[in-house]
Amino acid sequence: MKKGIGIGIEDFSEVIKENCYYIDKTKWIGEILEDKSKIKLFIRPRRFGKTLNMSMLKYFFNVENKEENRKLFNGLDVEKSEYMSEQGQYPVIFISLKSIKAKTWEEAIQEIRLLVLELFSELKNALLFLTRMLF
């Protein structure tokens, strides 16, 4: 199958499954794990792959679908590392503010509230999944 160029694809799973060219940045997972700061802030200019990298982290760490997600890392640098033991071990909250398009601070706050409400609904389902898994 011929490799494609994943222009505009922000989902790590889609990049891998669609056999797009991908510059392996999975060594970054080790750097994240070894960094002892409690808060991580990722700032880069537009179109520098922030969402794709955050998506990669989500698929790596997320406890949901961990076996399926594990396959996404086959042949990538992290697969050969000691950090694979961390794969699929944590519930993940993924928030992207990319869709917030407001003209005023008040509008932005309202859009963020709606985003958090949607996220809460999704996390409620994840919590049910984890509860069933643990008990």
Residues 59 and 21 in one domain: yes
Same domain for 11 and 60: yes
Model pTM score: 0.82
Tokens of 91: 């519930």
Identify whether the C-beta of residue 72 lies closer than 8 Å to the C-beta of residue 26: no
> Side-chain half-sphere of 51: how many Cα atoms within 13 Å?
14
Provide the domain count of the chain.
2
Same domain, 66 and 87: yes
Distance between CA atoms of residues 132 and 129, nearest Å: 5
pLDDT band at 16 (very low <50, low <70, confident <90, very high): very high
Q: How far apart are CA 35 and CA 98, in angstroms?
A: 25
CB atoms within 10 A of CB 134: 6
Q: Look at residue 131 in the predicted model and tell me its pLDDT.
A: 80
pLDDT at 54 over 90: yes
106 with 73, same domain: the answer is no
User: Domain limits at 112?
Assistant: 95-134
**pLDDT for 112:** 94
Residues 43 and 71 in one domain: yes
